[in-house]
Amino acid sequence: MGLAILIIGLALFIANHMLITFREQRAALMTRLGRPLYHTLFGLMSIVSVALIVWGYAEYRATGWVQIWLPPPYMRHVTIGLMLIASLLIAAYVIPSHIKARVKYPALAATKTWAFAHLLANGDLGSIIMFGSLLVWSVYAFMTAKHRKDVVLPSAPVGWMNDIFVVVVGVAFFLALGYWFHPYVIGVPVLGE
């Protein structure tokens, strides 16, 4: 049951976010519905799909775990290192910086890094489906984003203070994920063992 809920949540999330890559259809839908209603529906669909993913994955972990392969123990360290990079990219997404200007699409780069990192450390069926599908979606979204003509790319601000702020916020986010979120919400400790 959990795996089915997880797959439904992933399908809804990816379908909802794939619409962004179909620029003409998205623009037509925005015109028909109006921007506020479009963004409201997009946000609601995102919340519902993420809730289904979380619920389905938790249910799967509790009742239907299927191990496909056992990752080598050192992959845990590789994953932690990649998660630091993903955390820095999330901070760069929020804060204008040279990092954001260089990466251009830091949220998609963070998603790719996060999904790839978790594929390395998890060899069970649910994780492979979840992280694998989100990795494929983020690679596709990144490739299509590079060809868009209607997106204004971020530019670097004057000075480097924001880049320092990106690093500080990214490291703080990484530590919060590792010391609080992952052990208490996910149930898997990753730092400080």
Neighbours of 155 (CB within 10 A): 9
Q: How confident is the model over 26-44, as pLDDT tens digits?
A: 989 999 999 999 999 999 9
CA angle 173, 178, 179 (to 5 degrees): 100
Q: Is the pLDDT of residue 21 over 70?
A: yes
Q: How confident is the model over 95-112, as pLDDT tens digits?
A: 999 999 999 999 999 999
pLDDT band at 20 (very low <50, low <70, confident <90, very high): confident
pLDDT band at 128 (very low <50, low <70, confident <90, very high): very high
Give the pTM: 0.88
The pLDDT, as a whole number, for residue 193 is 61
Q: Is the pLDDT of residue 186 over 90?
A: no
In Å, how far are 3, 28, 36, 74, 132 from 31, measured between CA atoms? 37, 5, 10, 51, 34
